[in-house]
Amino acid sequence: MKTIPDHWKWFYESRYGMFIHWGPYAVIGHGEQPLFRERLDQREYTEMACKWRPKKFDAKKWAAVAKAGGMKYAVLTGRHHDGFCLWDSKYTDYSSAKQAPKRDFVREYLDAFRAAGLRVGLYYSLLDWRIPAYWEGPQHDPAGWDTFCQYVHNQVRELLTDYGKIDVFWFDGAWPHSAQTWRSYELVKMMRSLQPHILINNRLGAIEKPAPGTQAAADGGAGAGELKELGDFGTPEHHITAESGRMWESCQVSTWRLWGYTIGERWRPADLLLDMLVEAAGKGGNLIMNVGPTPDGELPREFVRRAKAIGQWLAVHGEAIHGSEPGEVCEFITCGRQTKKGNNLYLIIRFWDRRPTLTLAGLETRVKKATLLTTGKKLAFTQSADYLTLKGLPAEPPTDLFPVIKLECDGPPQARPWAVHRLWQGDPRRMTAWAAARGTSVWADGKTR
């Protein structure tokens, strides 16, 4: 991992944010993309969007849910692919400020989340499905494209000029056009001149003629490598895949599939949502958890309940996540996941087996103190060269989510030489002595005949 500049450390240490997909598409209740996916009539959609007037939107309530949920930052869709703007843009009247609500939802969101002590981000779709020039592209409508592309640059400048300090700018929807076509280098240069501390994601368009061996990818253009000069963090979508060399943030839905409000959607359980956070932290990245507010501007109670449960877990176990380093010091897949911080190793137990002892194989570093963080109970333990056995664990799992055991070691947690690599990695001969302890033959007693 490249050294993280001080002004970005907050992002790396936060590990957990709220993604908010909200816009007039919520009225239809088929996620955030019905306009395209259902090939709706553009005029009817526009008419619906201009009439959309959420009566119950209160950004303070959203901020309170994020705060209580243990989230450290949020990203709101200022403009999604339907082109409707949630701020008072001087470049269009297709906005919440000029149409029915007569409200600048982006400003209300920024004010409320900042007031709650949260970092703030804006999602901005480069594409706008209303605009023929977007579909035609510069090749077939050079003049139209130039006008549309300048509109995009103007709006980004506007958001970074009139709304105070923006911590994260989350681009999306560059396809099928390249970074060069969007003039993304110029765009980023302008953004950094306006807000030097801003974090910009890696969705600024594919690189024309990508370097050999890299292929264009929906979530980030030409592939991580080459885009590093444009994107400050990677954005694996619907998967939790670590990226080497730069920060990354996995974006995930809290429902089964769609990002925008969906009538009849199914919800992922809180333990699965928490598991994604723990997996991301265990791999050294962030999780941004999505919610699609209702057309009236409320957060669905199914989301609020799950966010609250994870927030209560983080209130007790947050030290294992916030500011943690990627874990997986030694094998632990049969019980859970690991993160580490300084001399501490955190065992995050996914599968509580109700036994009074738990044995961890392969930790080299001497443990000084073991605590069941969930209850604060000090645990007795014995430690040999290869095995640490923790004792006095309760049969009943001390939480419905994941109990955590904190091991305070006499140095940064390290693995035994044979335990550094996971099953499919490393030199297999590191395990020979372990196998030979039984004997060498196929007979049960290991003796050769």
∠ Cα 128 22 25 (to 5°): 60
CB nearer to ligand FHN: pick between 218 and 272? 218
Residues 174-213, mask of contacts with ligand FHN (x by CB under 6 A): ----------------------------------------
CB nearer to ligand FHN: pick between 251 and 349? 251
Give the N- to C-terminal CA distance of the chain in Å, as an integer: 53
CB nearer to ligand FHN: pick between 159 and 373? 159
Select the residue interacting with ligand FHN from 172, 243, 249, 298 (CB under 6 A): 172
Of the candidates 311, 289, 168, the one whose C-alpha atom is nearest the C-alpha of residue 240 is 289
CB neighbourhood size of 131 (10 A): 17
Q: Which residues contact 228 (CB under 8 A, 6 or more apart)?
A: 245, 246
DSSP state of 209: S
CB nearer to ligand FHN: pick between 75 and 309? 75
Of the candidates 102, 112, 86, the one whose C-alpha atom is nearest the C-alpha of residue 32 is 86
Backbone angles phi, psi at 345, to 5 degrees: -120, 130
Q: Which helix (H) or strand (E) holds 359?
A: strand 358-361
Decide: is 84 part of the binding site for ligand FHN (CB under 6 A). Answer: no
Decide: is 33 part of the binding site for ligand FHN (CB under 6 A). Answer: yes
Residues 119-158, mask of contacts with ligand FHN (x by CB under 6 A): ----------------------------------------
Decide: is 286 part of the binding site for ligand FHN (CB under 6 A). Answer: no
CB nearer to ligand FHN: pick between 23 and 70? 23
**Sheet (strand 199-200) strand order:** 199-200, 168-172, 119-125, 73-79, 16-20, 286-291, 247-253, 233-234
Tokens of 328: 């997986």
CB nearer to ligand FHN: pick between 239 and 366? 239
Of the candidates 438, 432, 406, 408, the one whose C-alpha atom is nearest the C-alpha of residue 418 is 432
Q: How far is the CB of 234 from ligand FHN (least distance, A)?
A: 12
Q: How far is the CB of 173 from ligand FHN (least distance, A)?
A: 6
Q: How far is the CB of 290 from ligand FHN (least distance, A)?
A: 7
Backbone angles phi, psi at 285, to 5 degrees: -135, 180
Select the residue interacting with ligand FHN from 32, 82, 232, 275 (CB under 6 A): 32
Q: Which residues contact 36 (CB under 8 A, 6 or more apart)?
A: 81, 129
Site size with ligand FHN, rule: CB under 6 A: 8
CB nearer to ligand FHN: pick between 170 and 352? 170
Select the residue interacting with ligand FHN from 100, 115, 211, 218 (CB under 6 A): 218
Residues 223-262, mask of contacts with ligand FHN (x by CB under 6 A): --------------x-------------x-------x---
| Cβ-contact 243, 280 below 8 angstroms | no
Side chain identity at residue 292, one-letter code = G
CB nearer to ligand FHN: pick between 69 and 236? 236
Binding-site ranges for ligand FHN (CB under 6 A): 32-33, 172, 218-219, 237, 251, 259
